[in-house]
Amino acid sequence: MMNKLVMATNNANKLREAREILSPLGIQVLSQQEAGVSCDPDENGSTFAENAMIKARAVYEACGLPVIADDSGLCVDALGGRPGVHSARYAPKGQECAKLLSELENIPGNERTARFVCNVVLMTDSGSAVFEGRCEGSIGYEQRGSNGFGYDPVFMVGDRTMAELSADEKNSISHRGAALRELCAYLNEGNGE
């Protein structure tokens, strides 16, 4: 099994999550910066998988090492699946939750269903593979918790937000955690070399 790969991200939170899940398997996850890669490709795909593939290909071509890239976002049923692939650009940084709560202001609790979706792409010399993870939940009425980022403070899993969960709790149910566990199973079967 491979012992080193590069994660195509400049997001320290995503890198931390990937390291927490992959490190116990003996896989060292390097940041783009640690791999000497400086690129920020235009994520102009229409799906999470397309955007992850764009990032993976750009970083792989720059460093030649095995690469993982992810694209993820929040899909809210009452908003027709928005913000979806536009989750990171839905509102100015730090104002995403406030905008979402505003848009859902008059939506009753039973219609506030949502899910986080994540696609992870692994790119190696032998090709690429795509893994998907989902985390079902709903959108709360206020921001709570300080352990998360992005939409975590308003995304409810049971009676707590993702931002109220410990790192271990979140990794065990998160969309990124689920996609990374699929990747781990794939690698454990001897694939992706």
| 64 within domain boundaries | yes
Give per-residue pLDDT as tens, 154-189: 999 999 999 999 988 988 898 988 999 899 888 877
| 156 within domain boundaries | yes
Q: For the chain, what percentages of helix, strand and coil (3-state, to nearest 5) are there?
A: 40, 25, 35
Give per-residue pLDDT as tens, 87-145: 988 999 889 999 999 999 999 999 999 999 999 999 999 899 999 999 999 999 999 99
Is residue 141 a contact partner of residue 118, using CB atoms and an 8 Å limit? no
Residue 20: predicted pLDDT = 83
| 33 within domain boundaries | yes
| 193 within domain boundaries | no
| 152 within domain boundaries | yes
| 143 within domain boundaries | yes
Residue 2 has pLDDT above 80, yes or no: no
Q: Report the distance separating Cα 38 and Cα 22, nearest Å.
A: 23
Residue 152 has pLDDT above 90, yes or no: yes
| Count of CA atoms in the C-beta half-sphere (13 A) of 49 | 7
Is residue 180 a contact partner of residue 18, using CB atoms and an 8 Å limit? yes
| 70 within domain boundaries | yes
For the chain, the domain total comes to 1
Comparing CA positions, the residue from 5, 143, 1, 127 lying closest to residue 57 is 127
Give per-residue pLDDT as tens, 7-23: 998 888 889 888 988 88
Give per-residue pLDDT as tens, 25-76: 888 999 999 999 998 888 899 999 999 999 999 999 999 999 999 999 999 9
Residue 193 has pLDDT above 70, yes or no: no
| 37 within domain boundaries | yes
Q: Report the distance separating Cα 30 and Cα 69, nearest Å.
A: 12
Whichever domain contains 49, its CATH number is 3.90.950.10
Confirm whether pTM is higher than 0.85: yes
**Full domain range(s) for residue 19:** 4-188
Report, as residue numbers or ranges, the catalytic residues: 71
